[in-house]
Structure 1
């Protein structure tokens, strides 16, 4: 029987003291005369704001995916004891992103060139042309560097949130990607996201369409009344099918323009859509543009594990098919062995679906009852009521919009 890894193996890394991620941070270290032992990540050092590094101690400093105006500069850094890992100049994505993506960044280019020309699609097209999930070594290294940058940015964002709100404050929402906008399950998932965000939870999804988009939409509009959520869904329902890429994306951008997000920094992004963690492996699906921050990976394996590792406040499983069922048992395995510590509740929306259509509850309950940590089957809850689901996850009953 496998045993859980030590806690420090799966804990969020805190490498912030050794990282230099902005030009302002870099200027501060340069003013002190040393970058020794630090890691400078993804900075443009080829512009007028870049400091002169000639007189700075760079012993054992690591420059990752930085841009330099003159090739003599990185050569000089290496000569003086630094290390330089160049980025991939041919890739349409940053080799070391310094922050999580925003919806505007993924949708950049849509207004002028449509779905085919927006950043998210351009990167997906490159991903496919470069070998998809099995790229050659150059592309593989570039993708791994990108995903490490996303790891790092995600750790920065969630570490601050968890420090302020506690380990049970992130709730995952999973379910079918094919659920059309405007359907009853879509509206239910949107109300769920609205309620959870209003209760102070960070809503986390896999960043796809269907149930995932709906939950982030609810969180996006959590600062507005229930009527606004209903109106937004009605607008989106004019383009219900994600297979119609251009109208589907245009409708999302129209709703964002009609209901602007109130993201003023700090924790506002959590109340302006929460978090999503998608992957370019499924890049044929249009981007979910309602999450406040988007940790988009190339590696689906890293992405799936990260979602489950972060959702320690519990997970809501709406009806889905093979992908959702896989996530159910991946989550159950982590809970069974206590891989990531204490787990929150597992709430299954639609009792009939999870007990008759796909009766995973019949297997999951006895499985969790056999956990080496004791009987964990009480973590399972089945309901047809969004408010009951929210009450289980928050311990607080609320009045809210009808689902």
Structure 2
């Protein structure tokens, strides 16, 4: 009988058995309880955080234009939501985009699968969790992170848009963080697409009636959200924003070149 031992991924390492700690790096970073000397270790944590940023930047710097796909890890294979993720990954790949997911099962696996089957670049950005969640088999480039905020930076920095499949708390967290970054213009021309009109319909109605209806957001903020059931339409929204961003990039490039010429 095969002996099973607890296992956890920690960044680039895998630990098993007695080497598995009781808490994760994120938990220890955010926990202020305990002896005062625990807090004095935070400066050392900065070095580990820095290393994660350096590793992520180094691994992802050469990626082609990419789109991040979010969605539930609990979506079973073969369900309509899973197949929607497969179709989306395939369509994005055929349009020339790499696809980035959280690297786990469910909707993430579906998008990676569609990308791989279409011959595209399939990326997974995993995270250390108290429970094990392995990188799915369709990931070509997988990176494990200890800290959520480092991982989230990589999702945004190396994507030109987000597509969100049905999901739970984690998916909602990623969705609203993306919307906040766009609303506050921390990122520009960055489309956010919700796949699944029935699943997202209630949330969108609440945003319209309660948030916009009571002045918590402006009417223009509703335009930040695109809802569809059609993977082709999702790709059109991404590529449309990409084309509108291209002249801006060229203008910025010419402006920099002009400044350099003037300085010379």
Q: TM-score, normalised by structure 1?
A: 0.48
| 1:148 corresponds to | 50
| 2:178 corresponds to | 331
Deviation at 1:297, TM superposition (A): 0.9
Conserved? CA contact 2:85–2:111, under 8 Å: yes
Find the residue that maps to 2:136 and give its secondary structure: coil
| 2:124 corresponds to | 276
Conserved? CA contact 1:181–1:210, under 8 Å: yes
| 2:92 corresponds to | 196
Conserved? CA contact 2:165–2:195, under 8 Å: yes
- For residue 21 of structure 2, the aligned residue among 102, 110, 129 is 129
Deviation at 1:388, TM superposition (A): 1.4
Work out which of the two has the higher radius of gyration on C-alpha atoms and give 1 or 2. 1
| 1:171 corresponds to | 67
State the distance in 2 between where 1:197 and 1:138 align: 47
1:349 aligns with 2:195: yes
Find the residue that maps to 1:171 and give its secondary structure: strand
Alignment of 1:71-82 (within 5 A): none
Deviation at 1:176, TM superposition (A): 1.2
Alignment of 1:245-256 (within 5 A): none
State the distance in 1 between where 2:40 and 2:124 align: 28
Find the residue that maps to 2:104 and give its secondary structure: coil
| Paired residues, number | 226
1:186 aligns with 2:82: yes
Find the residue that maps to 2:62 and give its secondary structure: helix
Deviation at 1:287, TM superposition (A): 2.4
Deviation at 1:322, TM superposition (A): 2.0
| 2:223 corresponds to | 378
Conserved? CA contact 1:281–1:299, under 8 Å: no
Deviation at 1:328, TM superposition (A): 1.6
CA 1:134–1:393 in 2, change beyond 3 Å: closer, same or farther? Answer: same
Which has a greater percent of helix?
A: 2
Conserved? CA contact 1:368–1:377, under 8 Å: no
User: What per-residue deviation string (whole Å, max 9, x for no partner) do you get for residues 10-50 of structure 1?
Assistant: xxxxxxxxxxxxxxxxxxxxxxxxxxxxxxxxxxxxxxxxx
| 2:147 corresponds to | 299
Deviation at 1:123, TM superposition (A): 3.1
Conserved? CA contact 2:53–2:150, under 8 Å: no
Deviation at 1:325, TM superposition (A): 1.6
Q: With a CA cutoff of 8 Å and minimum separation of 6, indicate the structure with the bigger relative contact order.
A: 2
Conserved? CA contact 2:179–2:192, under 8 Å: no
Deviation at 1:159, TM superposition (A): 2.8
Deviation at 1:119, TM superposition (A): 6.4
| 1:80 corresponds to | none
State the distance in 2 between where 1:364 and 1:188 align: 30
Conserved? CA contact 1:354–1:360, under 8 Å: no
| 1:7 corresponds to | none
State the distance in 1 between where 2:204 and 2:17 align: 35
Alignment of 1:15-34 (within 5 A): none
Q: What residue ranges of structure 2 are gaps of 5+ in the alignment? A: 30-37, 242-264
Which has a greater percent of strand?
A: 2
